[in-house]
Amino acid sequence: MRRTAVLVAVIVTALLLQTAVFPELTLLGVKPELLYLVTVIFAVLQGPAEGAVVGFVSGLAQDFMLNMPKGITALTLTMLGYTVGLARQYITSPSPLLPAVLVALGTAGGVAFHEAVAFLLGEDEGPFSYAAKVILLVYGAVLTPIFFPVLRRAAAATHAGRVVRF
């Protein structure tokens, strides 16, 4: 129950920030993708299963909130969370820049995948200009040092405490 409440609070907060606050803070026409950031951070901290769950729920929430074609963002974020979660076992660097680099690479790959799937399904007509902008200017990596401590604490809160049995 506690895990579900924490995940719902994090996803709803990120979605509200992404839709209400950050559309006004664009750089070169690009807004930050906070749900990508949340998915990558949870995948890094918790592993592939948790990353996939957070990605699916946040992607589906974004699809319904923004009245987008249902499932494209959910598929993208599920795959992103699972992939980053799998990759974390091979990363041994204790660098504090690692989360920002993973968010940058994950967001760039995720947005490119999302644009490609939307194009193949006929939902997006254009060249991949938005994906190119996000790849060139990875806004989420800049925001990672701000959000990472909060998300790390939220991820730690999803774990059940030690149970003492007599």
pLDDT of res. 108: 85
pLDDT of res. 43: 92
pLDDT of res. 162: 57
Mean pLDDT of successive 10-residue stretches along the chain, which has 166 residues: 85 89 76 88 90 93 83 92 90 80 87 85 69 67 83 79 57
Other beta carbons within 10 Å of 84: 27
Question: How far is residue 142's CA from residue 162's CA, in Å, rounded to a whole number?
Answer: 35
Other beta carbons within 10 Å of 71: 15
Q: Where are the beta strands (DSSP E) in 36-156?
A: none
Q: Which residue has the tokens 């401590």?
A: 149
pLDDT of res. 144: 84
Per-residue pLDDT of 47-64, as tens digits, reads 899 999 999 999 999 988
Residue by residue, DSSP assigns 19-40 as: IIIGGGS-BTTB---HHHHHHH
pLDDT of res. 95: 79
